[in-house]
Amino acid sequence: MVNNLQFYAASPRNLTDLMAKEVSSCGGTNLTETTTGIYFTGTMETACRFLVWSRVGSRLFLQLKTFDIETPEDIYNGVYAYPWDWEFSPSAAITIGTDLIKTDVVNHQNFASQKVKDAIVDQFREKFGERPQIDNKNPDITLHLLIKESTAVLGMDLGGESLHQRGYRTVSGPAPLKENSAAGILLRSGWPEIAEKGGSFIDPFCGTGTLLIEAAMIAGDVAPGLLKRRKGMDAWKRFTPEIMENVLKEAEGRRAAGKRRIPKIYGFDKDRNAVTSALKNISSAGFDRYIHVEKREFRDLSVSFLPPGLMVSNPPYGERLDEIEALMPLYKSIGAVSSKELHGWKIAVLSGNIKLSKAIGLKPDKVNTIFNGPIECSLGVFRIYSDKEKSDLKETISKKISERAPSSPGAEMFANRLRKNLKGLKKWAVKSDVTSYRIYDADMSEYSAAIDYYEGKWLNLQEYAPPKEIPLDKVKRHREEMIDGLLSVIPVYKQDLFIKIRKRQAGKSQYNKISAVNDKKIIHENGHSFYINLSDYLDTGIFLDHRETRKLIESMSAGKRFLNLFAYTGTATVYAAAGGAAGTTTVDMSSTYLEWAKDNMKLNGFTKDNHRFVKADVLTWLQREKKGYDLIFLDPPTFSNSKNMDKTFDIQRDYPDLLHWTTGLLNSGGKLIFSTNFRKFKLNSTIFPELEIHDISEETIPVDFSRNKKIHYCWEIRRK
């Protein structure tokens, strides 16, 4: 057996974590994940198992050689230097594919592929007097060249073609969902666990049946590679066919045993032609006895005869605005019908439009990004609780509260303060449709912390660093009493309570990573959605005290050119875009937070070219910018000494220059919203005779921060 082979497995974007489990189960080791694939080490058997069993993989490449290149001739020389007769004979028909990533060495894939072909052909002709033929339609060997910057990687595609082609699709419909993407959706939705417990599966928009067939394959332990013979290794000299035959024989045995465990699977579609196509594909896959399909409108869905399980749907999501508006009633009916008919079920809906996703009207337990070809989609997973589940959940919560009764007088005192705060805040939050808010902010001096409650799910406790003279054992005791008291009032699981210590910060160190969990969650605010990260940073990605400021910006933005300076994660930009801004410019010197800002904009459906993102030191950028703006939001840090800046920044020292430069970009009639969280800040308006400055701090302090009137200062500024 050939050992220690180096492989690269490709997958659809955002599914590599699922594929990593497949690679490991096939015997792969030393895994390194990228956005769209995994590098790993394995044997010939590892490769065979992956080709047969991977549900989400797209391709499997054997890495043959890596070398540096500076000129196109280096491609030829590097390929020529490899002993190709080790891999295949001169009588083999080959094809060559090339991918180019961030490289200036060559600018055309076909040119690079030609260099590879010339090198291989020349080597074989010189050694054997004959050469391989090029056959792009039915090759014996499929080679691949990846050039990234100045590095070239030669590989062989061991599957010969994309692994999403299972071999059962005899009929395709419009914009079909690829089989491996469908499998990824099912795995993300928890179908293996539901199927194992005997839960049913339905797809009310089944189209040509891809989700139904993949669901049956997963539930029945049917290997995706059983239906189609992979020819990518047949002409490979180092290939051992007996290994593949053993893997296939084992898979056939598992299929025979697993099919008996397939639960009830039903598909519906309003299009008779789609139903006919689905039945043909289901028959081709060998699941006639296990999958039932019929013509039915979604509004007529009734599945009371089925055990609760999983409904997965990939409804149409349109591209043009008029198509999206026409689909709104359909998406609203998904939420309404599911709430009525699917008690005890889990549902998952794939949508390529954020407005349509919101129209479902249900709060998702989780949201994942799935790519349907080039289209970035969101997969919302929802739970429709049965009456019994609701009762059990309420009983569980009550039990948690009773079990977490405060264990000390200090914890009880802290709990009582929280109950007092929440008594008013909960009513206000429900009435105002606020789902994330501050419930405590150093209300008692001995318990110096800020606590925010997100979406009724997560708690974020930021303890303020105590004075040095307070003994550490006392600090620790107060911290434990806070946690004890908090959990007795709001019971959450341990993984949903995030605890941090906020020290006096230098510059933007509050933005620095404190871990690398990268667990982004979605919260909702005033009809908008935002990603937060409660684990990796001191600040979570949204400043809750600016909730009212963001609403003010939205109300001012219609038809305006909006500029967001020191933009952080771009939450104010989302509000401006939602308010109808003609264009937005978002400026920050952090690549991480600019990408976060872009993700927030995408999450809310704002992806057009009139939204600009600029990575720059704001102070330098302001002095160079020539464009004018109608509305500007300026929320600078108190202090910064970032290595990306030419000099340090101090808000109290430098605000005169900052305001002069910023207001210089205001168009006639334009407004600047200037805010700072520096509690000792003093603004001297007499040094700005050319400006009208109005203090709007009080009206921008939200109710949940009203106990702390100095959480921030805010001014509305315009030129006279």
What is the pLDDT, as a whole number, of residue 375?
Answer: 85
Give every CB contact of residue 502 below 8 A, 6+ residues apart in sequence: 450, 462, 463, 464, 465, 510, 538
Residue 398: band (very low, low, confident or very high) from pLDDT cuts 50, 70, 90: low
Check whether 34 has a pLDDT greater than 90. no
Domain that holds residue 438: 395-504
Contact 315, 205 (CB under 8 A): yes
User: Percentage of residues in the chain with pLDDT exceeding 90?
Assistant: 74
Tens of pLDDT, residue by residue over 163-176, are: 999 999 998 877 68
Mean pLDDT of 311-330: 84
- For 6-22, what is each residue's pLDDT tens digit? 999 999 999 999 999 99
Whether the CB-CB separation of 572 and 545 falls below 8 Å is answered with no
Q: Does some domain include residue 251?
A: no
Q: And the tokens for 423?
A: 């008594």
- Is residue 445 within a helix (H) or strand (E), and if so which, with residue range? none
Q: Is residue 225 part of a domain?
A: no
Tell me the pairing of strands 375-383 and 366-372: antiparallel
In tens, the pLDDT along 488-520 reads: 888 777 678 899 886 544 444 444 554 444 568
Residues 6 or more apart whose CB falls under 8 angstroms from that of 691 comprise 659, 663, 685, 717, 718, 719, 720
Q: What kind and span of H or E run contains 548?
A: helix 547-556
Residue 576 pLDDT class (50, 70, 90 cuts)? very high
Nearest to 570 by CA among 585, 554, 559, 555: 585
In a domain, 249, yes or no: no
CA 651 to chain centre: 35
Q: Does 606 lie in the same domain as 491?
A: no
pLDDT in tens, 670-684: 999 999 999 999 999
Q: Is residue 218 helix, strand or coil?
A: helix
Nearest alpha-carbon partner for 29 in 3, 60, 65: 3
Q: Judge contact between 223 and 212, C-beta under 8 A.
A: no
Considering the domain architecture, whether residues 587 and 701 belong to the same structural domain is answered as: yes
- pLDDT exceeds cutoff 60 at 703: yes
Angle between helices 109-128 and 72-80 (to 10 degrees): 40
Q: CA–CA separation, 401 vs 621, rounded Å?
A: 53
**Domain ends where: 384, 415, 437?**
384
Per residue, the 3-state secondary structure of 459-480, as one string, reads EEEEEECCCCCCCHHHHHHHHH
Q: In this predicted structure, what is the pLDDT of residue 508?
A: 42
Q: Which of 186-200, 613-627, 637-651 has the lowest mean pLDDT?
A: 637-651
Residue 333 lies in a domain: yes
pTM: 0.60
Q: Beta strand 310-313 with 375-383: parallel, antiparallel or unpaired?
A: unpaired
Beta strands in 296-418 (DSSP E): 310-313, 346-351, 366-372, 375-383
CATH number assigned to the domain comprising residue 422: 3.30.750.80
For position 507, what pLDDT does the model report? 42
The pLDDT assigned to 502 comes to 67
Do 26 and 86 share a structural domain? yes
Read off the tokens for 542.
């949204």
**Span 75-103, average pLDDT:** 95
Helix axes 210-219, 272-285, angle to 10 degrees: 30
How many other CB atoms are there within 10 angstroms of residue 603's CB atom?
Answer: 19
User: Do 149 and 102 reside in the same domain of the chain?
Assistant: yes
Q: Give start and end residues of each alpha helix (H) in 464-535.
A: 472-489
DSSP-assigned letter for residue 433:
T
pLDDT band at 306 (very low <50, low <70, confident <90, very high): very high
- The pLDDT score that the predictor gives to residue 201 is 98
Encode pLDDT of 436-460 as tens digits. Answer: 999 999 899 889 999 999 999 899 9
| Model confidence pLDDT, tens digit, residues 355-393 | 898 889 888 888 898 988 888 899 999 999 887 776 676
Q: Which residues contact 542 (CB under 8 A, 6 or more apart)?
A: 436, 523, 525, 530, 532, 569, 571
Whether residue 682 is contained in a domain is answered as: yes
CATH number of residue 39's parent domain: 3.30.2130.30
End-to-end Cα distance, the chain? 82
> Is residue 646 predicted with pLDDT exceeding 50?
yes
Residue 317 has pLDDT above 70, yes or no: yes
- 63 plus 145 within the same structural domain: yes
Burial of 530 (C-beta count, 10 Å sphere; 0-12/13-18/19+): buried
Q: Residues near 613 by Cβ (< 8 Å), separated by ≥ 6? A: 570, 585, 586, 594, 597, 598
Domain assignment present for residue 270? The answer is yes
The percent of residues in the chain predicted with pLDDT above 70, rounded, is 93
Q: 682 and 706 share a domain?
A: yes
Q: Kind and range of the H or E element at 51?
A: helix 44-53
Q: Which of 336, 360, 384 is the last residue of a domain?
A: 384
* β-pairing verdict for 59-68 and 141-148: unpaired
CATH number of the domain that residue 658 is part of: 3.40.50.150
Both 202 and 115 in a single domain? no
Nearest residue to 629 (alpha-carbon basis) of 682, 573, 675, 678: 573
If asked whether residues 463 and 325 sit together in one domain, one would say no
Q: How many domains does the chain have?
A: 4
Same-domain status, 564 and 608: yes
d(CA 116, CA 141) in angstroms, rounded, equals 14
337 and 215 share a domain? yes
Taking CA atoms, 229 is separated from 12, 156, 159, 225, in Å, by 22, 17, 9, 7
Residue 166 domain flag: no
pLDDT above 60: residue 651: yes
| 571: pLDDT strictly greater than 80 | yes
Residues 525, 474 share a domain: no
**Does the pLDDT of residue 30 top 80, yes or no?**
yes
Q: Do 411 and 542 belong together in one domain?
A: no
| Mean pLDDT value across the chain | 91
Residue 90: both structure tokens together: 């001169």
Residue 511: the pLDDT is: 46
Strands 141-148 and 151-157: antiparallel
Give domain status of residue 91, yes or no. Answer: yes
Single-letter residue type at 291: I
Choose among 314, 269, 19: nearest CA to 177: 314
